[in-house]
Amino acid sequence: MMSAAQSHTTLESQLEALQCHFTWDLESSEPIPLHLRDHLEDIGTEEGNSWLGHIYNLRGFVQYKLGFTEDAQSFFNKAAEAFSKIRNADEGPWLVVNYGNLAWLHHHLGDQAESQAYLSKVNALMSKYPSPSQDELHQEIYAEKGWTLMKFSREQKKEAADYFQRAIRMQPDMVEWNTSYVLGLAYTCDKRDTGQVADLLEKMRVAKEQDPENMFLAAHYLTLRADCGEEIKDEARELARKVLRNPVSSYSGIIPLLNVFRDYVSIDEAIELAEEALETHPDKRYLKRCAAHCYKFKLIFFRDSRPDQRLIDRAISLHKEVIGLYPVSSLAKKIDLANIYAKSNYSQDKAEQIYQELLQSDLEPAVKQRIYQSYAKYLYFSRHDSEGSLRYHMKVAKIPQQSIHRETSITTLKKFRDRGRSHMCREIEEFLANLQEP
């Protein structure tokens, strides 16, 4: 007869073999779930969203990682209900991941009997609905794994595209899978590779024909065509009318469309569009974030020697609201607010105050790199303090963690060294020579 310890070990090995969020090696350091929780909340849960079950499954996992086990179970239960409505069936292979999550959750809660019950449900589903290909997972599992990985790093987005491709190969009639596959390719495409871009353009054209009501896809397709030199202003304005009629959601297409307006139509029209959306839905925090995004670009990246103070005041007001509405994932907006204050006629000291608070915070190395680099740029462009700026670029580079911020700061230091115009050139030369690789 199996001992309790052996039984526990057997259960754990069975759990480890499951395909679910608990076994997919998702990035799970604290800042990511916090940021991800906000992102998932902004997707919305309107009826008819074909990804609703997947959304609830990931929300449940994120809540578990944050320590909210009751919320986690509630979301996993909602996922099962959503799948039943969407698939118009009480059971099916789409529940394998959901039951796997519940098996793991009950295991962590110490309810091994309930955990084993969900394990049995998984096994029953896999027996009843085997994969069409003996050497591969079921297409429903590939699709959910693909959708989930799309929410993480660039490398995981590449994996996601591969999983969607496998799912589509086994079941080509799922339009939403193909749309997500193409969007995954768009996120990871090397825009310098003309062959990749041409292939992506064709795939997006076909996907748009198959999924004509998907405004998120339409906005990304418009972006790619504009990147390739096509004139798209009239189409962008027409798409804007459609997007504004959609329910408010990060899937509505508003952000990629605003980016199209910003880059290829007019930043002022982008602001007008964001304000129009906000006027229609004044309580939607996501639209406030979108509007703040536009004002940030107008004031920080579209450099105007004398920006309008009313524009600055509106940008400050929006950024303060957004920071309050996204308290746990507002680092970028705090940095933006500091840089906007630096443009103001009467509150530049507040920029320094925000930066000092951020600089003194107890933060992870990668976050420190980001703040140090932002402060270095602020010192250079707003305070005209070249030496202070270079010293903060050195602080970024000194943190032994590979990141885009570290690479950019090292490049900046090399440029100053090579120009030979700074009294710090010798110091920078010695610093770079002694710099340790992460």
pLDDT of residue 437: 78
Q: Pick the last residue of a domain from 101, 129, 157.
A: 129
N residues, the chain: 438
What would the DSSP string read from start to end of 283-346? T-HHHHHHHHHHHHIIIIIS--SS--HHHHHHHHHHHHHHHHHSTTS-HHHHHHHHHHHTT-SS
- For residue 55, is it within any domain? yes
- For residue 121, is it within any domain? yes
H or E element: which one contains 174?
none
CB 311 within 8 A of CB 298: yes
My answer on whether 275 and 371 are in the same domain is: no
Q: What is the tens place of the pLDDT at every residue in 226-251? A: 999 999 999 999 999 999 998 888 88
Query: Cα separations (Å) of 387 from 10, 330, 391, 399, 423?
Result: 61, 29, 6, 19, 9
Distance CA 328, CA 347 (A): 25
Distance CA 384, CA 332 (A): 22
Structural domain that includes position 9: 4-129
My answer on whether 116 and 36 are in the same domain is: yes
My answer on whether 313 and 407 are in the same domain is: no
Q: Which of 17-26, 282-291, 336-345, 417-426 has the lowest mean pLDDT?
A: 417-426
| 153-159: Cβ within 8 A, 24+ apart | 153/27, 154/187, 154/188, 156/27, 157/184, 157/187, 157/188, 158/184, 158/188
Please give the tally of structural domains in the chain: 3
Which of 83, 26, 50 lies closest to 180 in space, CA to CA? 50
Which of 372, 362, 377, 365 lies closest to 392 in space, CA to CA? 372
Q: How far is CA 249 from the centre of its chain?
A: 14
pTM for the whole thing?
A: 0.89
Q: Pick the last residue of a domain from 83, 111, 129.
A: 129
CB 194 within 8 A of CB 218: no
Q: What is the tens place of the pLDDT at every residue in 377-408? A: 999 999 999 999 999 999 999 999 999 999 99
pLDDT of residue 30: 53
My answer on whether 32 and 102 are in the same domain is: yes
- For residue 166, is it within any domain? no
- Categorize the per-residue pLDDT at 276 as very low, low, confident or very high, splitting at 50, 70 and 90: very high
Average pLDDT over residues 84-104: 96
Distance CA 412, CA 422 (A): 13
My answer on whether 90 and 11 are in the same domain is: yes
User: Looking at the predicted structure, is the pLDDT value of residue 174 above 60?
Assistant: yes
- For residue 196, is it within any domain? no
My answer on whether 408 and 304 are in the same domain is: no
Q: What is the tens place of the pLDDT at every residue in 53-80? A: 999 999 999 999 999 999 999 999 999 9
- For residue 244, is it within any domain? yes
Q: Pick the last residue of a domain from 111, 129, 147.
A: 129
My answer on whether 42 and 90 are in the same domain is: yes
